[in-house]
Amino acid sequence: MCQLLGVADVPMETAELHTALEFADELPWLDLEDCEQPPSCLSTIDALMMELQPVQELESQLADLQERTHAVVPKSNKLDPREEHFKELWATMAKRQFEQRQQAELENAKLREMLQDQIRAAKSLEKLLRKQNNVELKSPKAAVISGVRSLKDASALDKDYIREDLLASLESQYRQLGSVLSDPRMLPGSAPLRDIAVRSNPVTGTFVEMVDTRVLPFKIHLSAEAVWRHMASDQLARIESMHEDVVEVTQDTIQKAFFGSMDVGSARGSVRGKVVFRRFTEATRVVLVWCALADPLEIGDISMNGILMRHMGWTVLEELSGRTSATLIRSYQVATPMFLDGDVVTHAQKVGALTTFSLHAIKIRLDTDQQCIENWLLQEAMLSE
């Protein structure tokens, strides 16, 4: 009780104090009128009386607070469903933060174990070097960097017109925004929703489609800044074998190159590509469009020579209706194979492997992007506090 009211704990309960006082009154030798100097127990009783007064005052304050609480709480005891939704939203974010911490602790434990192994290996190598001074050692890290460099350099994207083509696509995509948002899955009431699947139609052929709608419990200007900062960053959370180079960042445009490999199930895919982003700030919302051209080298043991993957994405951020402290984020993405030679028939096996790989890669990237954005928002919230 006292802790709730923000005061120190009281040593005794009220009933115990009354018992102590009654016992003191019954003592035959205690005569308060005849005692010029009260015995030592008198000071104890005075102390107990002093303790009793704040207890009674606190009990009175508690009763007053309880009356106020009953007056405020509606008789129906029903909570606003939207408030319940935000409680669940914060709980989900807290769960992701906890899982990320657990993952980091697990990775740290693995790194410590690897470090111990490296120390033992270094000691063994030191002994070996003493015996064989002509032994040539090659760092495993150097081999990885060498592989990444060769992956980065080998591509069909090194054409002068690729950059202009991607930038021109952004303006065209922005004009298509109304059509994108007309999809029933993109309606504001659909959040939260995530739908990722490989689809096919007679016009576009086989492609990967992604719809993702969610709510962030932060104001729109802060949420939009978090998403834009993440797009401009070269950090890929939990995708250690993928790398991004930020080529150029302006007030409304980002250009990046990416390269590396990613494990999806039992298959490892090697890819490189170029991506551009553009931001359109409107009166009531922020629109982000992006376009990427990926050059997959191989997926598993299948060479991807002669095929590219074009990604187009739209992200719209706007204030959640009736909530100035929350942001609705709606994202749509489509990834379509493109053929440098041949057609879908000659590349049927490649298309199947590439679309399946892209589907899982998009899922991984969505999760990592969401985690990075939430981390930045929570950090900003703590700094502002």
25-78 tens-digit pLDDT? 554 444 444 444 444 444 555 554 555 555 566 566 556 555 544 444 344 434
- Most confident option among 91-105, 111-125, 174-188: 174-188
Q: For position 147, what pLDDT does the model report?
A: 39
Q: For position 219, what pLDDT does the model report?
A: 92
As a whole number, mean pLDDT of residues 340-349 equals 75
> pLDDT tier at 153 (50, 70, 90 boundaries)?
very low
164-214 tens-digit pLDDT? 999 999 999 999 999 999 999 999 887 789 999 999 888 778 899 999 999
Q: Is the pTM of this model over 0.85?
A: no
The encoded tokens of residue 325 equal 């402290």
Q: For position 250, what pLDDT does the model report?
A: 96
Whether the CB-CB separation of 273 and 295 falls below 8 Å is answered with: yes
Q: How many residues does the chain have?
A: 385
Please, what's the b/e burial string for 257-268 (b: 16 or more CB within 10 A of its CB; e: otherwise)?
A: bbbbbbebeebe
**Residue 50 DSSP SS3:** helix
Integer Cα distance of 295 and 303 in angstroms: 11
Name the CATH code of domain 158-384 (choices 3.30.530.20, 3.40.190.10, 3.30.930.10, 3.30.420.40). Answer: 3.30.530.20
Q: For position 85, what pLDDT does the model report?
A: 60
More confident residue, 93 or 43: 93
More confident residue, 274 or 129: 274
The encoded tokens of residue 368 equal 């990592």
> pLDDT tier at 384 (50, 70, 90 boundaries)?
confident
213-259 tens-digit pLDDT? 999 989 999 999 999 999 998 876 556 688 889 999 999 999 999 99
More confident residue, 142 or 48: 48
CA atoms within 13 A of residue 143's CA, in its CB half-sphere: 4
**Residue 3 DSSP SS3:** helix
